[in-house]
Amino acid sequence: MIQNNLEHLWMPFSANRDFKASPRMMNEGKGMYYRKPDGTPVLDGTAGLWCCNAGHGHEKIVHAIQDQAAKLDFAPSFQMGHPLGFEAAEKLLSIAPSSQFQYAFFTNSGSESVDTALKIALGYQQHVGNSEKTILVGRERAYHGVGFGGISVGGLHLNKKHFSLLPNVEHICATHNLEKNSFCKGQPDWGKELADDLLRVIEKHGADKIAAFITEPVAGSTGVLIPPKGYLERIRGICSEHDILLIFDEVITGFGRLGAPFAAQYFGIEPDMITCAKGLTSGTVPMGAVMVKKEIYDAYQQEDPKVIDLFHGYTYSAHPLAAAALIATLDVYGEDGLFDHANEISSYWEEALHSLKGTDHIIDIRNLGFIAGVEMEPRDGKPGSRGYDVFTDAFHNYDTLLRVTGDTLALSPPLIAEREHIDSLIETLRKVIPDH
Ligand SMILES: Cc1ncc(COP(=O)(O)O)c(C=O)c1O
């Protein structure tokens, strides 16, 4: 059956009226391709929404979910458990940056993971006696999902407009600088000192007031902002020196996007907590997680063991289908060598992308691992309109799925992509962008 009435779904982060006037629909997915309802294949340049890292319809993951649905559909998650939830936590932690990460808290999305991590951080500081450490610090141009915590520490104006925000939140400056760093391959040389903006916040409030700093190691949704060399190292140093918890939001950078399990391993920097989602189940079943170090979990275990230690959780935390999907997905990443593949193909990716330099309207190309941003010059007085036109043209006329944020294309193919897929994606960009 083809669904003709599109009116009643209020689509997230979408121009609803324009979509419904000229829909962009996908009906099937296999490997590197979606299919439109008429059967036309669509090359996936974005792993869905940065999540289908194992490609679409991987049989092992599909079967794991099907089998689990038939065996145990749901089990209560508060004060009760089911074996796969525990197995999923152990499996996830087996690829954590170090053995210090001994606990995983499951959520259903990146937004929930972020809000969970922020709450855990605030509670931790109370538990260890830092009762005045109540300020959360984020960064301009950061995206941490859409919960009230996430939009508050996030740095995107339009996502905050109209909404009440958390008090006690500060932001440091973003690292993106076109004048200094445009067309840089990999991490820019300039900008590590921007980390010192965290010192400004510390000076303003006092380190004894600051609970945690949250950052995307590579900002994705806000246009692929690559951290300058030395920047994250400096952030880590400042947080350690001032007893501020460092949270890496790895909802995009986790699960092979940089050719390593997490950005933490890629950069060789260990945060205190990691939030993740998306690639955790290769996008198949909604699931997120917060990985924490032992000392954080332990801080919550001081009272009577019969009393709840963390007053927080979701009905669907460690949902059986999601847990089954996680276990199968991490198996697939390992068995198919997808993190290594992403790592190996990243230099081809880099060269292919930068061959677009000189194409009309392109003002920057940036890349790291298997992720890239292609920034286009905004039209006078109409920021975002060129990006939107390129995105829709690529879908309708070149059967290619791109992701656009403002006038920046954010590219992140499934980790199974081969050179021919990269070539096709780049040739589409070469043709589409100058037309707009
Ligand atoms: C870094 C980061 N954090 C959080 C989120 C929110 O994830 P979700 O849409 O699953 O709530 C995203 C989504 O793109 C993200 O990129």
pLDDT of 41 > 80? The answer is yes
Of the pLDDT bands very low, low, confident and very high (cuts 50, 70, 90), residue 302 is confident
pLDDT of 94 > 90? The answer is yes
Give residue 163 CA to ligand 1 midpoint distance, Å.
18
In terms of CATH architecture, what is 63-335?
3-Layer(aba) Sandwich (3.40)
Hey, what amino acid is at 132?
E
Give residue 147 CA to ligand 1 midpoint distance, Å.
10
User: In ligand 1, which atom is closest to the CA atom of 288?
Assistant: 10
Q: Name the residue with tokens 């931790």.
A: 124
Ligand 1 contacts CB of residue 281 (under 6 A): no
Distances (CA, A) of 274 to 110, 255, 292: 11, 12, 7
Q: What single-letter DSSP state applies at residue 202?
A: H
User: In ligand 1, which atom is closest to the CA atom of 145?
Assistant: 6
- Name the residue ranges covered by the structural domains of the chain: 16-54+336-435, 63-335
Distances (CA, A) of 353 to 250, 362, 366: 24, 11, 8
Q: Which of 140, 91, 150, 92 is nearest to 116 (CA)?
A: 150
Q: Which two tokens stand for residue 194?
A: 């921007």
Give residue 255 CA to ligand 1 midpoint distance, Å.
14
Query: What digits encode the pLDDT tens for the residues 213-234?
Result: 999 999 999 999 999 999 999 9
What's this model's pTM, rounded to 2 decimal places? 0.98
Query: What digits encode the pLDDT tens for the residues 45-82?
Result: 999 999 999 999 999 999 999 999 999 999 999 999 99
Whether 408 and 220 have beta carbons less than 8 Å apart is answered as: no
Q: Which helix (H) or strand (E) holds 176?
A: none
- Asked whether the CA dihedral 28, 33, 37, 38 is positive or negative, the reply is negative
pLDDT of 363 > 90? The answer is yes
pLDDT of 3 > 90? The answer is no
Residues 6 or more apart from 70 whose CB is under 8 A from it? none
Q: Which homologous superfamily is 16-54+336-435 in?
A: Aspartate Aminotransferase, domain 1 (3.90.1150.10)
Angle between helices 385-398 and 419-432 (to 10 degrees): 120
Q: What single-letter DSSP state applies at residue 174?
A: P
Ligand 1 contacts CB of residue 51 (under 6 A): no
Ligand 1 contacts CB of residue 252 (under 6 A): yes
Query: What digits encode the pLDDT tens for the residues 305-358?
Result: 999 999 999 999 999 999 999 999 999 999 999 999 999 999 999 999 999 999
Q: What is the pLDDT of residue 352?
A: 98
Q: What is the pLDDT of residue 4?
A: 80
Strands 101-107 and 288-293: antiparallel
The mean of the pLDDT values for the chain is: 97
Output the residue whose Cα is nearest ligand 1's atom 8.
110
Q: Which of 51, 251, 284 to mutate to test the pocket of ligand 1 (most atoms within 8 A of CB)?
A: 251
Give residue 13 CA to ligand 1 midpoint distance, Å.
12
Give residue 382 CA to ligand 1 midpoint distance, Å.
26
pLDDT of 2 > 70? The answer is no
Angle between helices 83-93 and 320-335 (to 10 degrees): 40
Output the residue whose Cα is nearest ligand 1's atom 12.
145
Of the pLDDT bands very low, low, confident and very high (cuts 50, 70, 90), residue 260 is very high
Query: What digits encode the pLDDT tens for the residues 26-37?
Result: 999 999 999 999
Ligand 1 contacts CB of residue 110 (under 6 A): yes
Residues 6 or more apart from 349 whose CB is under 8 A from it? 367, 370, 372, 422
Cα–Cα distance, 118 to 115 (Å, whole number)? 5
Q: What is the pLDDT of residue 405?
A: 95
Q: What is the pLDDT of residue 1?
A: 57
pLDDT of 432 > 80? The answer is yes
